[in-house]
Amino acid sequence: MARSIPITASSTTTSSSLSDFAPRARFRLSSKPSRRLALLQLGSAIPQPNLLGIKTSKLIRAEGTAQASTGVSEEGALQWAKKDNRRLLHVVYRVGDLDKTINFYTECLGMKLLRKRDIPEEKYSNAFLGYGPEDSHFAVELTYNYGVNKYDIGTGFGHFGIAVEDVSKTVELIRAKGGKVTREPGPVKGGRTVIAFIEDPDGYKFEILERGPTPEPLCQVMLRVGDLDRSINFYEKAFGMELLRKRDNPQYKYTVAMMGYGPEDKNAVLELTYNYGVKEYDKGNAYAQIAIGTDDVYRTAEAVKLFGGKITREPGPLPGINTKITACLDPDGWKTVFVDNVDFAKELE
């Protein structure tokens, strides 16, 4: 399963490397390792403390996250990050009832079930949904761990964004299907874009945005950060993203920045939100991470180290397979996995 590069998302493990989770990824389906299964297993199970309901810790601060890098200059790393062939691949999170969530996403949100896989040996299932093929569109990866029907979303994760041509009609459909509408259609605070908010069966929030036809309706992932300028600087330099726009709303005491690899009307973007005076958030154990494609996980890891990120899985092939990845944390502790583009394409064959 190509896109399941993700690992656990609990902040209780932010100082661990991906290799620390290898014993849980028991590759036993066959004598010939499966790339897709191996990648799935890195993103399926949650740490035992979370299964027991122990409260997760807060987002880590930037201090102490930077790592020394050798052999690469900042100028070289900047050039590499900007010219690398990157795009957002998928976002990973956990749900308590996979079939119920799939039905909600397909019937209410108009997504397509791209693929689904059950791994009884490892006691979890995965499903990928989106608005187009995974080799060209952003997707969600849902993970269901057997017997776990509830997760703590925390206060750090914000919402997913879906672009539609008529917010009011979409909201009425969602309401008719039994969906929960938490914000009726209307202009966004401090702006003119018509939006609404709904919740899925697990309590994840979706912002429904009104805009013209777009090739990428699944358009946003919003995360809260403790220092917006620090985050913008990190994502520009370490991840090679562009600051697409920044908007301050002093009346409502928050600022947002849209970061991505192309225009908002054609690509999924990362929306970073800073609430005045709030430096830390609880991450919970529900949201996991975003996966991003790269032409070279080794050079990407060097750039991340140089610009203040923490590498939690050194670049290289996953155990027993050839897919190369590297995993890291941003200054707030949000996790990202970079996946080799060529290897990812093989996963989808």
Structural domain including 140 reads 74-347
Whether 31 is covered by a domain: the verdict is no
pLDDT of residue 15: 30
Strand ranges for 200-345 from DSSP E: 205-210, 218-224, 242-249, 254-260, 269-275, 287-294, 310-317, 324-329, 335-340
Whether 16 is covered by a domain: the verdict is no
Query: Model-level pTM?
Result: 0.82
Whether 28 is covered by a domain: the verdict is no
pLDDT of residue 71: 64
pLDDT of residue 182: 97
pLDDT of residue 44: 46
Residue type, 275: N
Q: Is residue 207 annotated as a catalytic residue, yes or no?
A: yes
Pick the catalytic residue from 122, 134, 207, 271.
Answer: 207
Residue type, 215: P
pLDDT of residue 2: 37
With a cut of 50, list the residues of the chain below it in pLDDT. 1-42, 44-70
Phi and psi torsions of 338, nearest 5°: -95, 135
pLDDT of residue 190: 75
Residue 83: give its domain's CATH number.
3.10.180.10
Known binding-site residues for Zn(2+) equal: 141, 159, 207
Whether 64 is covered by a domain: the verdict is no
Residue pLDDT, tens place only, 204-250: 999 999 999 999 999 999 999 999 999 999 999 999 999 999 999 99
Phi and psi torsions of 151, nearest 5°: -130, 160
**Tally of domains in the chain:** 1
Burial of 85 (0-12, 13-18, 19+ CB in 10 A): exposed
